[in-house]
Chains A and B, each alone.
Chain A
Amino acid sequence: MNLEAIKSEIEANVPGCRLEMVDNPSPSGQHSLLLDAQHAAAVAVYLRDAADLRFDFCSNVTGIDWPGKELSQKVKVRKLVDGVEQEVDEVRTTTIPGSLEVVYHLYSVEKKHGPITLRLRTQDRDTGVHLPSLTPIWRSAELQEREIFDLFGVVFDGHPDLRRLLMWDDFQDHPMRRDYVDPDDYEYEPTAHDAVLQRANQHRSEEEGR
């Protein structure tokens, strides 16, 4: 089950697709293929139907949130300071945009091999969160993609029934994102510390001020 070989086979048979190998440094050795959103469905159909691959069992669909990062670098720049040109340290911040990632684990029931891991990434975390749905190809993605829509906010185009799965329909946030803030509902802790202690102090002053 050589991922390099599979990658070249897909590139040969699905014209125009752009694949990338994502290396997995852990001892599990499960490397993955990053697909581009435009050709993801075609690659998926090929993986499912090719005679030597026959990945007909989509086992797991996962969402991962990679929030954006700000990198600050100190750069030496020549600037005019008090009329004299000098080398001055300037801090330059570059923002790496975050993205939401969807990971598919595929197995083959016919050939009894696997797993092969596919990844899809959105452009960013605000408006560019559309990805093609692979539910028409593997029915098992139906409920799992709904869950990723509910908890992460990825919109799957082509999904037959995209609604929230686990939270109620009026709920507004996407709770599994890393920047989700829990609602404040008076959590009681007998030996409170850190954040819970701060909130308890706040509640106490509110109750006493009432």
Chain B
Amino acid sequence: MLSTKTGNQFELEPRISGVDESLKNELSKQGIFTTSLQELYNWGRTRSLWPLNFGLACCAIEMIATTMARYDLARFGAEVFRPSPRQADLMIVAGTVTKKMAPQVVRLYNQMPEPKYVISMGACAISGGPFKQGYNVLKGIDRYIPVDVYIPGCPPRPEALIDAFMELQKKIDAQPLTGTHRPRHLNADQPSEFVVPQFGQHDLEPTRNPAIWTPPLVQISQTGTDESGSN
């Protein structure tokens, strides 16, 4: 049900310890633990992801419910929701992003220090959701900022948000420290700040960030009709 971004062919690499398993077990019985730097580094990052206090609409209420006593998100490491983007690792975009709000969302994302991740929660943040006909609705936050995990639902249940959180943790666990697939914060060639849209006279300018999002071309059948029979 959940999916990670399939834009670049990201393959989850198996964990490398560099040490033989039986030797590991022997040593651990003597109180000596062996691991690789990648495992240790990623373990520290995934178990203490601090989200930004950023709820936009109805999904924010389900996000708050996820942090409350019944579906406690704090046990996954999201102990505090930071009010300042400078102190947050994760931005959960929960709710409809309107065109009036979009520049502020991108500015907040730019202000977050690397490594930073984005969870797009709810149908509205993925693609505009039920309000996609609206003139003021941005059809998905991934038009301006890169998204790591999408959660469908309107609103998604708190369990779905926890599942997405765990999915993100798995994704971060598999990020290598070196090589071509290394994450953005270790790669000086990849940008970590993105262009902030400006208010135009009829729409935002630019309407999308071409480096991040290209409109998916619709599958048009040969005969040119769709299932409803109209042409």
Same complex origin of A and B: yes
Residues in A lying within 8 Å of B, measured CB to CB: 166-173, 175, 180, 182-183, 185-194, 197, 200-201, 203-204, 207
Return chain A residues, CB-CB under 8 Å to B230.
193-194
Residue tally, chain B, CB below 8 Å to A: 25
A197 touching B208 by the CB < 8 A rule?
Answer: no
Tally A-B pairs: CB < 8 A: 69
Please give the distance in Å from A171's CB to the nearest CB on chain B.
7
Return chain A residues, CB-CB under 8 Å to B227.
191
A192 touching B128 by the CB < 8 A rule?
Answer: no
Return chain A residues, CB-CB under 8 Å to B201.
170-172
Return chain B residues, CB-CB under 8 Å to A171.
199, 201-202
Given A167-B100, A171-B202, is A183 in contact with B135 using a C-beta cutoff of 8 Å? yes
A203 CA / B135 CA spacing, docked (Å): 19
B135 touching A175 by the CB < 8 A rule?
Answer: yes
A182 touching B135 by the CB < 8 A rule?
Answer: yes
B127 beta carbon closer than 8 Å to chain A: yes
B215 touching A203 by the CB < 8 A rule?
Answer: yes
A85 CA / B103 CA spacing, docked (Å): 70
Return chain B residues, CB-CB under 8 Å to A193.
226, 228, 230
A173 CA / B230 CA spacing, docked (Å): 32
Return chain B residues, CB-CB under 8 Å to A168.
100, 199
Return chain A residues, CB-CB under 8 Å to B199.
168-171
Contacting chain A: which of B41-49, B153-161, B216-224?
B216-224
A189 CA / B228 CA spacing, docked (Å): 14
Return chain B residues, CB-CB under 8 Å to A194.
230
CB-contact partner of B139 in A173, A186, A191, under 8 A: A186
A187 CA / B216 CA spacing, docked (Å): 10
B169 beta carbon closer than 8 Å to chain A: no
Return chain A residues, CB-CB under 8 Å to B133.
182, 187
Given A186-B207, A207-B217, is A197 in contact with B139 using a C-beta cutoff of 8 Å? no
Residues in B lying within 8 Å of A, measured CB to CB: 100, 127-128, 132-133, 135-136, 139, 199-203, 207-208, 214-218, 220, 226-228, 230
A182 CA / B203 CA spacing, docked (Å): 9
Please give the distance in Å from B203's CB to the nearest CB on chain A.
4
A185 touching B217 by the CB < 8 A rule?
Answer: no
Given A168-B199, A186-B139, A187-B132, is A192 in contact with B208 using a C-beta cutoff of 8 Å? no
Return chain B residues, CB-CB under 8 Å to A183.
135, 202-203, 207
Task: Jot down 24 A-B pairs with beta carbons below 8 A, ordered by A.
Answer: A166-B136, A167-B100, A171-B202, A173-B202, A175-B135, A182-B133, A183-B135, A183-B203, A185-B139, A185-B207, A185-B208, A186-B139, A187-B128, A187-B133, A187-B139, A189-B218, A193-B228, A194-B230, A200-B218, A200-B220, A201-B218, A203-B217, A204-B220, A207-B215
Return chain B residues, CB-CB under 8 Å to A186.
139, 207-208, 215
Given A167-B136, A191-B227, A194-B230, is A185 in contact with B203 using a C-beta cutoff of 8 Å? yes
A188 touching B202 by the CB < 8 A rule?
Answer: no
Closest A residue by C-beta to B103: A168
CB-contact partner of B226 in A167, A175, A197, under 8 A: A197
Given A183-B135, A186-B139, A203-B215, is A170 in contact with B100 using a C-beta cutoff of 8 Å? no
Please give the distance in Å from B110's CB to the nearest CB on chain A.
20
Please give the distance in Å from B31's CB to the nearest CB on chain A.
56
Return chain A residues, CB-CB under 8 Å to B202.
171-173, 183
Closest B residue by C-beta to A208: B217
Return chain B residues, CB-CB under 8 Å to A166.
100, 136
Return chain B residues, CB-CB under 8 Å to A192.
218, 220, 226
A190 CA / B220 CA spacing, docked (Å): 10
Closest A residue by C-beta to B225: A193
